[in-house]
Amino acid sequence: MPTMGSMDWLSSLPRPEAIKCIKVTFTNRILHNLNQALHNFKIEDRRRKVSSLLAQSMTESEIAQMLGVDQSTISRDIKVLKESAQQFVYDLAKSDLAYYYKQSIDGIEEAKKESWKIYNDQTVPIREKLLALKLIIQSDETRFKLLSEGPGLLAIKSLEDRLNRIERMGEQRQISR
């Protein structure tokens, strides 16, 4: 190890040309990352525009002409938008759907309890009691509909999970071959 008394430690420092090379490499990497981020931003911005124009019932060729790109670009954008929408719905089903499902059932039950209180209150006029009974019936119908359809949605999610696991296993097997 060089000591402070000798000048040998100077030889261990990087040469100016090496420092310049490091600076150029670092600068190039930053510029590349900035260009990539800008490119990705432009693509996402175009896809937002495509989505908006599709919602206005424009055709792929009309959108391509309006945005000044090839129709195949718009087709690819639409494919990505569809996949993104599917992933959004899947993620919603995976994480939040069960919570909102339970919250809806609980809300229906609370409305039903309040309706029964109104119906059983002797001071409430008959017209309001009949409206309360109507709300009780609607609550039961809505709850039944939720309970009959909900498990089907959750079963689809479960099947999709299993399918994804099987696909990943197949990909892993192909890689290992």
Question: DSSP labels for 58-92?
Answer: --HHHHHHHHTS-HHHHHHHHHHHHHHHHHHHHHI
pLDDT at position 135? 93
Classify residue 4: in a domain, yes or no: no
Same domain, yes or no, for 65 and 100? Answer: no
- Is the entire prediction scored with pTM above 0.85? no
Q: Do residues 64 and 74 make contact, with C-beta atoms less than 8 angstroms apart?
A: yes
Residues 60 and 100 in one domain: no
- Clarify whether residues 33 and 107 are in a common domain: no
* Six token digits for residue 20: 């310049």
**What pLDDT does 166 receive?**
79
User: Residue 47: which of 73, 24, 28 has the closest Cα?
Assistant: 73
Structural domain that includes position 123: 87-177
Q: Identify the helix (H) or strand (E) that includes residue 169.
A: helix 126-176
Structure tokens at 31: 């510029």
Q: What is the pLDDT along the chain (177 residues), one digit of tens a residue?
A: 555 556 666 566 667 676 667 777 888 888 888 999 999 999 999 999 999 998 889 999 999 999 999 999 999 999 999 988 888 777 766 666 777 778 888 999 999 999 999 999 999 999 999 999 999 999 999 888 888 776 676 666 667 777 777 777 777 777 776
